[in-house]
Amino acid sequence: MKLLLRLSQFIDGLNELIGRLTYWLVIVMILVGVWNVIGRYLGRSIGQNFTSNALIEIQWYIFDLVFLLGGAYALKHNEHVRVDIFYTRWSPKRKALASLIGTIFFLIPFSIILIIVSWSAVLNSWAILEVSPDPGGLPRYPIKTMIIVSFILLFLQGISEAIKNFAVLRGQLSLQKESHESEF
């Protein structure tokens, strides 16, 4: 079990790092968005074009990255959507059992299905070096690749959560409110 908990700790560390780097993308996205608005109005007033389709698409792509890369981070920190009507009143072991069942029967299969379904679309996008149809648009294949990357990270975080919940059920780990990382 110690080896599995070390694996869980490694996965948690990976998703923690990616999540913290993703924080900075939010700031970049806001700055690009502000520039897009200012550039549009300032450009109109002086007859120049200070923004472009590429800048608008960059803003969309950064939002995509925040959303996609934030999923595993949110799961790690127990910030994902859950119906808490019953869950909040349950004992730690019952919570761990419910989370383990949900992870094994829903999260992990869903992640695997999304990886499989996305695979051919991403490969096709790379094969044709897909580019946005908008004038001055950006390549689409890198952002499409992030769909697979994000679901691999979510799958890995699901494995980590399953390990931690299994350890809780075995009495080898206590369930923390925010995350399990302090137990290692």
The 10s digit of each residue's pLDDT in 125-170 is 999 999 999 998 899 999 999 999 999 999 999 999 999 999 999 9
Confidence of residue 176 (pLDDT cuts 50, 70, 90): low
Cα gap 41→51, rounded to integer Å: 10
pLDDT on residue 178: 42
Output 42 or 112, whichever has higher pLDDT.
Answer: 112
The whole-angstrom distance between residue 68's C-alpha and the CA centroid of its chain comes to 4
Stretch 103-115: mean pLDDT, rounded? Answer: 97
Q: Where residue 50 falls among pLDDT bands split at 50, 70, 90?
A: confident
pLDDT at residue 108 greater than cutoff 60 = yes
Per-residue pLDDT at 75 exceeds 80: yes
Mean pLDDT of the chain: 91
Burial 129-163 (b: 16+ CB within 10 A, else e): ebebeeeeebebbebbebbbebbebbbbbbbbbbb
Least confident of 33-47, 78-92, 127-141: 78-92
pLDDT over 60 at 21, yes or no: yes
- Burial (CB < 10 A; 0-12, 13-18, 19+), residue 62, is buried
Q: Write down the H helix ranges in the chain.
A: 2-46, 53-76, 84-87, 92-102, 108-127, 141-169
- DSSP H helices, 77-139, are 84-87, 92-102, 108-127
Residue 1's SS3 state is coil
Across 5-14, 39-48, 96-105, 117-126, least confident range: 39-48
Confidence of residue 183 (pLDDT cuts 50, 70, 90): very low
Task: Give the whole-number percent of the chain exceeding pLDDT 70.
Answer: 94
Q: What is the pLDDT of residue 172?
A: 82
**pTM for this predicted structure:** 0.86
